[in-house]
Amino acid sequence: MKLVIVSAALLFCLSTCDAAYVSSLRGVVEIKRTGTADWVKLAGDEQHKLQPGDELRTSRASTVDVMMDDGSRVKVAPLSAFKMSEESDSAVSIGLYFGRVRSWVKKFSKKFEVRTPSAVCAVRGTDFMVSADAEGNSRVEVYEGSVLAGDSQGNSSLVREGQFSDIPAGGRMKDPGNNPDGPGDMNSAAGGLRELARAEIYGELSKEDVLSRAQEEMKASEYQSRKVAVDAYGNRVRMEEYTIRPAANQFKYVVLNTRDNRFDFGKILFTFNAALPANLSDATANMITAPGSEAPAWYLTDMNSVMSNTVDKVTEDASGGAMVFNNSLSDPRYNLIFGNYAFYAAGPAQAGLNGGLGLQLWAKTNYNVPNNTHSSISYYGGAAPTIVTAQPGGPDVFHTYTGNIYSDNTWIAAEDYVLFNDGDVLSTGDFNSGLGQGNTVDAVTDKLNFQRVYTSSLFGGRTIDVMYSAKLLKEAGLLRF
């Protein structure tokens, strides 16, 4: 009996590989060789050997076929990311970050595995397809043989030929069911550009990956800024910022910080209900709250963000956004309400939790963003944290501290500064003196930067320290007066 065992696991590299190779490709397929930082486009007129740790990614309308020495074959669909983990005399192990792969495994061949962020599929001789989405959910479809599918909670079921099984990230697997469709067209993507962009937000954390992505995106960026400023601790920071549109209804803001001894970055992906207008400010003006009794044309449906020092990270994940009328006679307006909004943090030990988001510290349902209200909220440890707040420089200085201490003494704190380019912290008197010299509020703001510093018991003494400019946020319509 041919079996596939599915269980929770992370992608990782194993032993040597000297026989797997790219046999054919279509469209744009890129490779990142193990130990290197750059993605290189593959030429379609030659074979390319794959070594342990080599990664492939496909663009829209692009596919790639990988052959093994025993005659087994893997086809990678468009908008997918694939990693060659092992190809030895006894075993093959490949990783699927997101997208789809279909595998034709020779009977009585070596052990064969496909790993996703939430599943491991092991087989000797069968025809099956594995998909993984940006949320870490997986799906297995079996076209020949049988599948023993199991989730991270220890539940398992036999999935027979002609059936499928869904394995949600961190949840109970679905009962196997008959698959009314035959093998899917591997020339199409499992998801779309939204899923691809979301996976990049949470999945690319190394300095090499972040800079490689930035080099590609800056060429097509809509707004871009580079400058050197001084942070709240007297360190010089090279700040690079840009916005780009990954899809017609999305835009992404990225900030990169380089100091002498560290690299930090932040990314936010905004997804809207409709294709965005040429002038981005037309959409961002009312994406959170819109005065009047007419709903805005554009509003947020999803928001995904990460801040990281490449080792630790803080992520926020919001979905189910909709505009809801407040039924007020005195102040009629539409407010953005997210069905779900959650906050996560992770050091290396928590990096693989919740589909790569990290340890969930709190989650809100039906979160009214402008009013900061919600239907319910859940906390890590089951109880509301102790909240510590302070204004270290006094009430007139733009420097605040907020910390949450949870029931098992896990804690996280955010320290925020508003700074001039020379590192001086803004105070209310600076606006008065600046305006008195004939400057406008707009002109004073162009000289300012924001700095957020995260500390946590999860970070092993490290900090996440990201600084970004008020000027670029204003140009992109994210900061208004």
Distance CA 153, CA 229 (A): 49
Mean pLDDT of 244-262: 91
Q: Higher model confidence: residue 395 or residue 447? A: 395
- Per-residue pLDDT of 52-88, as tens digits, reads 889 999 887 789 999 988 888 999 988 888 898 887 8
Distance CA 168, CA 279 (A): 38
DSSP 421: T
The yes/no answer on whether domain 5-178 falls in CATH 2.60.120.1440 is yes
> Is residue 113 predicted with pLDDT exceeding 50?
yes
pLDDT of 59 reads: 81
pLDDT of 70 reads: 80
Distance CA 357, CA 117 (A): 11
DSSP 285: T
pLDDT of 263 reads: 97
- Per-residue pLDDT of 142-159, as tens digits, reads 888 877 777 777 777 777
Residue position matching structure tokens 């750059």: 38
**Structural domain boundaries of the chain?**
5-178, 193-475
Buried b (16+ CB within 10 A) or exposed e, 295-316: ebebbbbbbbbbbbbbebbbbe
pLDDT more than 70, % of the chain: 88
Distance CA 193, CA 249 (A): 10
Using alpha carbons, list the distances in angstroms from residue 278 to 194, 222, 270, 323: 19, 10, 16, 22
Q: Considering the entire predicted model, what is its pTM?
A: 0.67
Mean pLDDT of 468-481: 70
Mean pLDDT of 213-217: 82
Least trusted range by pLDDT, from 1-5, 151-155, 163-167, 296-300: 1-5
Beta carbons of 14 and 173 less than 8 angstroms apart: no
pLDDT of 433 reads: 62
Mean pLDDT (the chain) is 84
Using alpha carbons, list the distances in angstroms from residue 162 to 108, 126, 180: 21, 12, 8
Q: Which pairs count as long-range contacts for 435-443, CB under 8 Å and 24+ apart, including other chains? A: 441/481, 442/474, 442/481
Mean pLDDT of 175-188: 78
pLDDT of 476 reads: 63
Q: Higher model confidence: residue 17 or residue 168? A: 168
Q: Angle at CA 468, nearest 5°, toward 465 and 470?
A: 145
DSSP 154: S
Helix then strand then coil, % of the chain, to nearest 5: 10, 45, 40
Beta carbons of 6 and 167 less than 8 angstroms apart: yes
pLDDT of 458 reads: 98
pLDDT of 11 reads: 28
Distance CA 96, CA 132 (A): 7
Cα 435 versus chain centre, distance? 41
pLDDT of 159 reads: 77
> Is residue 355 predicted with pLDDT exceeding 80?
no
Beta carbons of 159 and 151 less than 8 angstroms apart: no
